[in-house]
Amino acid sequence: MNGSEEKAREAVVRVSGGAAPDEALECASAEAWVAFDTAVRAALAHRARTPPPPPLPPALALCHPDGRIREAALEGFGGGPELRPLLVVRCADWVEPVRERARTLLGGLPGGELLPLAELILLLSRRAQGGYARALLERALREGPAADVVALMSHRDRTTYRLAYRIAVERGLLTAVELAATAATCGDVTLQDLCAEAAVATLAGSADASGAESGAAALDRLLTARAARVRAAGVTALRRAGRPGEARPFLADRSSVVRACARYVLRQGGIDPLPLYRALCAEPAAHPGAAAGLGECGNRAADAGTLWDLVEHPLPAVRLHAITGLRALDEVVRERLTPSLDDPSPAVVRAATRALLPEAAGIPEALLRERTAPERPRAVRVAAQRLLRAAGRHHKIGRS
């Protein structure tokens, strides 16, 4: 039995003794209410087989394994907030009369009363009969006060705040700058995409001066985001904003997605990115990512030599991107790249390993086994082991 089940069982005992269910559950999370419902059914299963049962506290009657008792409890439901979570549970009940009665009661509540139940409603919406309460909640958020939506945007539950943000976007409750700031600062990938796309969508509608200023500020916020997917959205939006030339610095971005977006925007503006890459690679220390971009859009005859030279560059970031560029250019030469397995930078070692994996069978086994020795740096040992596995020699690897 896990901890939540044990707490639910303890809560059933406390409610049987007269405690309020939310008090007995202490932290009345959505999962706690569902666990309580399950624990009551388990605890009262024998009573369902020996009617008539003695009077039960309303919270226990609402969760009783006998559907007739659950239905009777709903008929006497007082509507107080302390039992509303169990009303939500009953809206997804497997017995139709119980379910319909619970839905009638929940549907009679003001929309704002559903907010404290949002997490539970969304958790139960995964059940076969859980859609009714979710539809009520979504309607309340779409038609009710904007403050209700904003309140749920800071909810601790991911599903809940995502729904709130989605409806806020639909209702236009957030400015372009607010959307961009959320996309740039939050760690939730779903929200990053939602808010970045919504912020970009507002740019086309920035007709007046204040709107244009706000759109520019939002775009600048996207372009400086740490998350590559958000920067990519901003770079792509430069074309719509009539600022395609500003994509140039992003040709050397550390993210391949952002680099690809920058190339697209420049090409749409009539600018060939390849000469720009060659110029950037002449100053690799200032633009390490340019080496990777050169490999992504260059040609082997003209640009492979530049990238091989950069594999020897003193800066690890340049060496890393040069190896990435060689992979993109399909110009990996096993004998020339194998020395990079001993690079002092773990990131470079990993890049070299990825590039050499298709060539692993051709690397001398002795060379790789030497690099699995305990005294070797960890990155080197891991690289050698990966390459040995790729070559089908992993069964011979000893402990290191």
Sequence-ordered list of residues with C-beta below 8 angstroms from that of 109, at least 6 positions apart, any chain: 79, 84
**Residue-level pLDDT at 45:** 84
The single-letter code of the amino acid at 307 is L
Above 60 in pLDDT, residue 54? yes
Contact 86, 57 (CB under 8 A): no
Sequence-ordered list of residues with C-beta below 8 angstroms from that of 243, at least 6 positions apart, any chain: 219
- Of 190, 218, 187, nearest to 202 (Cα)? 218
Start-end of H helices in 108-206: 118-124, 131-143, 146-153, 158-171, 176-185, 189-203
Above 60 in pLDDT, residue 330? yes
- Counting other chains too, the contacts that 309-315 makes at CB distance below 8 Å and 24 or more residues apart are 310/281, 310/284, 311/336, 311/337, 311/340, 313/284, 313/285, 315/284, 315/285, 315/288
Q: What's the pLDDT tens digit per position in 64-83?
A: 999 999 999 999 887 788 89
**Cβ atoms within 10 A of the Cβ of 343, count?**
22
Above 80 in pLDDT, residue 173? yes
116 secondary structure, DSSP code: G
Q: What's the pLDDT tens digit per position in 98-114?
A: 999 999 999 999 999 99
**Residue-level pLDDT at 20:** 86
- Bond preceding residue 52 cis, omega within 30 of 0: yes
Contact 70, 101 (CB under 8 A): no
**Residue-level pLDDT at 398:** 45
Domain ranges of the chain: 1-108, 341-400
**Residue-level pLDDT at 26:** 77
